[in-house]
Chains A and B, each alone.
Chain A
Amino acid sequence: MANSASTDAFVEFERVQKSYDGETLVVKDLNLQMPQGEFLTMLGPSGSGKTTCLMMLAGFETATHGDIRLDGVSINNIPPHKRGIGMVFQNYALFPHMTIAENLSFPLEVRKMGKSDREAKIKRALDMVEMGDFGGRRPSQLSGGQQQRVALARALVFEPELVLMDEPLGALDKQLREKMQFEITHLAHSLGITTVYVTHDQTEALTMSDRVAVFDDGRIQQLAPPDQLYEAPVNSFVAQFIGENNTLEGTVKEIKAGRALVQLDDGGLIDCTPVHDSVQAGARTRVSIRPERVEYNKDRLQEGAHTLKAEVLEFIYMGDIFRTRLRVAGNEEFIIKTRNAPDQVRLKPGEQIEIGWLPEDCRALDA
């Protein structure tokens, strides 16, 4: 995260702060650069400041301090209707008293566009979201998914360069959500639009984005492409927040050749990759291992790898995977996931096993 303003950034937050009550900061020192055409997701728990950031970008909230720039121009003092930013709202905010076509016509009318131009654009936008036949209907006559498409079409119909989406899929059922996730990314990329997407659903963030900014406590905890975020979280918040994660606590015994030897509180030893700055010999640390990276088949473990004893507490058959809950070093919520393959062993509750992993899959983070 560079603090200096880079000239090629399309959207840029520089040292932005926001406070509502003058006592606490909702957004603390936010810095962010987005190149044109990027699909960036702001992910975080509620109250983490992500929506506030989006609203500041849209112009509905003013930054208490700092600068927000769009295409190099500071937009702090530009009212929302002059920013030319498309926006999709959580509950779509389709105007209930207008038909679908009128909803789409609205942004074009306020831009004083001629009737024939308007009609052509509306048709194109509706076709784009496969809603071409619904122009004459009212929003209340459409299903949630259809309304979502219309909201998207309305945000895009006036061809903005930047589109903001505030948890747009929150109200849809799982299947529809997954379909829409794909469609939105597809549309954004094919139109080359810069998109800022706010969600608290990490799967959505991972599947859709070029980059994800993980928010917590008014700060960006990590800004990275999805795979990095998942596989290389930089702190325990991100590790916890993104995907399923097992944590064990212990003390760093020594750091050698880029490996940290951690002694768990019950005495067991494990090899980890030190990630956080605070991971020093003698310091407390929290170790994070993804469930699918845990191995209990001794044949597949590396020679000389440290292992831990574990007791099987529960075995859950989930179709494509097996999910097994273990007791490891006093932690009863230790999960492992294994692929449902023909040769896979199905563990039984009560079974005593030994587990291990590759040192690079085990990340020693801040305590």
Chain B
Amino acid sequence: MSDTTDTGPVLAADGTPLKRSLARALRMQKLRALMLIAPLLLFVLLTFILPIVDMLFRSVENQIVSETLPKTVVELQEWDASSGEAPGEAVFAALAADMKIAVEAKTHTRLGSRLNYEKTGLSSLFRKSGRKVKRWDLAEDAPFKQKFIDIDEDWGDVDVWRTLQTYSPAFTNGYFLNSIDMQKGVDGPEARPENQQIYITLFGRTLFMSLVITASCILLGYPVAWILANLPSRTANLLMILVLLPFWTSLLVRTSAWKVMLQQQGVINDVLVWLGLVADDSRLVMINNQFGTIVAMTHILLPFMILPMYSVMQTIAPTYLRAAKSLGATNWTAFWRVYFPQSVPGIGAGSILVFILAIGYYITPEIVGGTKGVFISNRIAYHISSSLNWGLAAALGTILLAVVLLLYWAYDKIVGIDNVKLG
């Protein structure tokens, strides 16, 4: 086939254009490859992607108001909150009708809990009103405005109705505003009162402490990884077991052990007092603060730093150091200019791992963190399991996810993600 001077497409042996038959051959290959990874793909999709999408959705979803009080929401559109007066009879009639149905379905208290996140008191208002409305007859008992106000004067409160109106759309940015210490005010978003601002502080603290933990893991883990990588494999394997040992104990046990070590009547303080380094009445405070969290979490996350560093260091041939020395470098220069730069991918991988794990930790900070050593994840956990404000938890989680992605992106820009190796 040496004379390919003709301009037409190159043809395969059976006369079809070569490109097309190549594409067909490749498609078959891709399909086969896809079939192989399909179980994993499906698994990840179901157990990881979908929950994340669900979380993103929950952070803006607010259909409960329009679903529980469909007529009221429609009627309330007409109402002008700035009028300073509660809405008219039409709205209350709609409310009575909606409540009647909601009480049957027992959804009114659920709506009350939801709205209570935005305005204190709505939970009991709905619970209380539900009991009364249950006994009303829609046809005979009209008009309802006064009846509602008789149940609780809050029904005449403009603020209550404004809250209802503000949160009647099916989607809201309220949770996100709350996550950054803001709220929906009369004229759009505004800062929360200062005595309720907490999330920005917690985000900042979480990032700062995660960075400190990552840095201490690097400092403590690097020499260990270096020794492991340079020992004969028998000894290295033995030491590796010691590194991995913490993995085999429960997280709670390890964290509680730190409590025993660090508390004021704990082992370290006892030893210091015994040695006479610290007076008995001025024992060091090493737990229930940031220090305690950093120590305990550094210990717990250390293996995640050592393992990638170790596997990267193993691939750095000892001849590089020899070469550097033969070229006239002292031990330190050889290490710093030749060995260290080559181990950076391991540090990078370890740091990303440790940082991302640290940022999401909440059990350890909860146990040893006191008030100043808790993370944003502790609040997320609180809103998931105690306050049941899942929308807010989802918004906080989404922001945390965004922060992690942003940092990942920044890392890629500064260091380059191809500079990360797990071995």
Interface residues of A (CB under 8 A from B): 58-60, 79-87, 89-91, 93, 95-97, 106-107, 110-111, 154-155, 158, 164
Contacts and interface: CB of A to CB of B under 8 A. Distances in A.
B253 interface: no
A80 B325 contact: yes
Contact of A97 (B323, B333, B341): B341
A90 B338 CA distance: 18
B21 interface: no
A164 B327 CA distance: 12
Contacts of B325: 59-60, 79-81
Interface stretch (B274-282, B314-322, B350-358): B314-322
Nearest to B344: A97
A80 B319 contact: no
B320 A81 contact: no
Contact of B319 (A83, A91, A155): A91
Contacts of A97: 341-342
25 contacts: A58-B326, A60-B322, A81-B326, A81-B329, A81-B331, A81-B334, A83-B326, A87-B322, A89-B319, A89-B322, A91-B317, A93-B319, A93-B322, A95-B324, A95-B342, A96-B342, A97-B341, A97-B342, A106-B324, A106-B338, A107-B328, A154-B327, A155-B326, A158-B328, A164-B326
Given A96-B342, A97-B342, A107 B319 contact: no
Contacts of A85: 326
Given A96-B342, A97-B341, A97-B342, A106 B329 contact: yes
Given A95-B338, A97-B341, A106 B319 contact: no
Nearest to A151: B323
Nearest to A82: B328
A111 B338 CA distance: 16
B321 to A, nearest CB: 9
> Per DSSP, are chain B's interface residues mostly helix, strand or loop, or mixed?
helix
B337 interface: yes
A82 B327 CA distance: 9
B120 interface: no
A81 B322 contact: no
B342 A87 contact: no
Nearest to B320: A93
B201 interface: no
Nearest to A154: B327
A84 B329 CA distance: 10
Given A106-B337, A110-B333, A93 B323 contact: yes
Contact of B326 (A87, A95, A111): A87
B330 interface: yes
Contact of A107 (B322, B327, B331, B342): B327
Interface of B: 317, 319-320, 322-331, 333-334, 337-338, 341-342
Contacts of B334: 81
A86 to B, nearest CB: 7
A111 B330 CA distance: 11
A78 to B, nearest CB: 12
Contact of A106 (B322, B327, B330): B327
A206 to B, nearest CB: 27
Nearest to A93: B323
A110 B342 contact: no
Contacts of B341: 97
B178 to A, nearest CB: 47
Nearest to B323: A93
B320 A95 contact: yes
A154 to B, nearest CB: 7
B328 A110 contact: yes
B317 A80 contact: no
Cβ-closest 9 pairs across A and B: A107-B327, A93-B323, A87-B326, A93-B319, A80-B325, A97-B341, A110-B328, A81-B325, A110-B329
A81 B319 contact: no
A58 B142 CA distance: 104
Nearest to A84: B328
A221 B320 CA distance: 32
Interface-central residue, A89, A97, A164, by most chain B CB under 10 Å: A97
Contacts of B322: 58, 60, 80, 87, 89, 93
Given A58-B326, A154-B327, 20 more contacts: A80-B322, A82-B328, A84-B328, A87-B323, A87-B326, A89-B322, A90-B319, A93-B317, A93-B319, A93-B320, A95-B320, A95-B324, A95-B342, A96-B342, A106-B327, A107-B329, A110-B329, A110-B330, A111-B328, A155-B326
Contacts of A110: 327-330, 333
A342 B327 CA distance: 55
B361 to A, nearest CB: 33
B334 to A, nearest CB: 8
B240 to A, nearest CB: 25
A55 to B, nearest CB: 9
B328 A81 contact: yes
A106 B320 CA distance: 12
Nearest to B329: A110
A138 to B, nearest CB: 13
Given A90-B319, A93-B317, A97-B342, A80 B337 contact: no
A80 B327 CA distance: 9
Contacts of A82: 328
A126 to B, nearest CB: 16
Nearest to B319: A93
A218 B252 CA distance: 59
Contacts of A79: 325
B343 to A, nearest CB: 10
Nearest to A79: B325
A46 B127 CA distance: 89
Contacts of B337: 106
Nearest to A95: B338
Contacts of B342: 95-97
A86 B327 CA distance: 7
A79 B328 CA distance: 10
Contacts of A164: 326
Nearest to B316: A96
Q: Which of B317, B320, B326, B334 has the most A CB atoms < 10 Å from its CB?
A: B326
A111 B329 CA distance: 8
Contacts of B323: 87, 89, 93, 95
Contacts of B327: 81, 86-87, 106-107, 110, 154-155, 158
A82 B329 CA distance: 8
